[in-house]
Amino acid sequence: MQKKSGLLLLLAWLAGLVGLILGLVLEPLWFARFGSLVVLFSLMSEYFLLHGELNTLYARLSKIDSDDDIPDLSPSKWHNKKVWLSHLTIIIGTLIWGFGDLLL
């Protein structure tokens, strides 16, 4: 699932780039239209990141006995960076979707 979230994030940025190129070459409205794809792929990425994190957490918790100390269950730094990049991409995609034609 981690690879799927990264691929979706890459698709989001690629959709933004394609929209920017089409907006500059053809018509600025295309940039705004591709903003919706940026938001869609970013939200899908964020869903897979959250779902994967919860699955990992539940799997680790099920292996703990009542006598054991609780291990470190925090996600990795790379996972946290992908989460923040997903948040940022959603915000940028929303701005492109709403105001992309005006920005060009």
Please report the pLDDT score of residue 96 as a whole number.
92
User: Has residue 1 got a pLDDT over 70?
Assistant: no
Q: Supply the pLDDT for residue 60.
A: 78
Tokens read off for 77: 């730094």
Q: Average model confidence (pLDDT) for the chain?
A: 88
Give the pLDDT confidence score for residue 20 in this predicted structure: 95
Q: Look at residue 33 in the predicted model and tell me its pLDDT.
A: 93
pLDDT at residue 99 greater than cutoff 80: yes
pTM of the model: 0.81
- Give the confidence band of 30 by pLDDT, cuts at 50, 70, 90: very high
DSSP summary character for residue 23: H
Structure tokens at 59: 């799997």
Handedness of CA 35, 1, 81, 50 (dihedral sign): positive
51-82 tens-digit pLDDT: 888 888 887 777 777 666 777 777 788 888 88
Written as one letter, the residue type at 81 is K
